[in-house]
Amino acid sequence: MVYTIENSNLSVSVETKGAQLKSVFSKHTGVEYLWQGDARYWTGRAYNLFPFVGRFAEGKYVVEGKEYAMDRHGFARGSEFALTEQTDNSLTFEIRETDQTLAIYPFRFIFTVKFKIEGKRLTVRYGVKNMGENTMYFGLGGHPGFNVPFDGGRFEDYFVEFEEVGSPTQVIANEKGLMTTERRAMELENGKIIRLEHGLFDNDAIIMQGACKTVYIKSDKTKRSIKVSYPNMDYLGLWHMPKTDAPYLCVEPWMTLPSPDGKPEVLETKENIGVLEPNQDFSIDFDIEIIE
């Protein structure tokens, strides 16, 4: 089922499967900014990544001394969410553990995704609550895809620009999409810009640590842009389907990284893993703002 909220600037639609954005539409210009899931490239649009981001080595992980198997990016993206609250400018969706999730993720939880619009800004807020009796471990991330181009021209006419000059570190993945120990300094034009070329993604996502927490998708040929802010996320991924001419770009704020290659990772020792004691809760958010 699809639900919609709107104001004088934006119309935003979300479907209950995966609590996934379906549309981010500007009423002023009639432009659809969200990627619409063309099966030639990628059928997704804006996955919510929970309880993990990316892949596990051998598709497995270990927690409390027991091994479990889980698919890439966790199970939330394929789950049917319930709408728990709707206001004039917000939608809140929720899933809880099931027998199926407990078989692959041994924690009782509430996971919520709230969408709220104010002006031309959409805030996506994730909430996690530990409903069990043991310490809970989890990862989170966003995966929104945006149409590029969104105001004419070619993909190559657009660029990613960080709000401030910086020197992020690129985290290098191997051919399996798993983390290596290699790190390299990102070479940014004027310390801020990555010019878009399809070939940038031939080896999968560009993953960065230490980047400025506000980034834009821009073109010199339009005044329109998309702004993504992720103040409390440590990592940023940029991606489109490798080795294609896909006309979109995913800007992905992540709390955690995929696993390193080798043996199954132990969650208790994973870097930046979320940790919740019984009855504790946690929230984190990112913003998408349309600038016209």
Q: What percent of the chain has pLDDT over 70?
A: 100
CATH number at 97 reads 2.70.98.10
Q: Which pLDDT belongs to residue 21? A: 98
Q: Encode pLDDT of 201-211 as tens digits.
A: 999 999 999 99
Q: How far apart are alpha carbons 234 and 252 in whole angstroms?
A: 11
Domain limits for position 98: 2-291
Residue 266: what pLDDT?
A: 95
pLDDT band of residue 218 (cuts 50, 70, 90) is very high
> Residue 259: is its pLDDT beyond 90?
yes
Asked whether 124 and 114 are in contact (CB, 8 A), the reply is yes
Q: Cis ω on the peptide bond leading into residue 253 (within 30° of 0)?
A: no
Could you read off the pLDDT of 161-183 as tens digits, one per residue?
999 999 899 999 998 888 899 99
For residues 218-242, average pLDDT: 97
Whether 97 has a pLDDT exceeding 90, the answer reads yes
**Position of tokens 């984190």?**
284
Residues 6 or more apart whose CB falls under 8 angstroms from that of 186 comprise 167, 168, 169, 170, 194, 208, 211
* Residue ranges in 121-211 assigned as alpha helix (H): none
pLDDT at 175: 87
Range 113-121 average pLDDT: 98
Sign of CA dihedral 105, 269, 143, 292: positive
Count structural domains, the chain.
1
Please say whether the beta carbons of 228 and 215 come within 8 A: yes
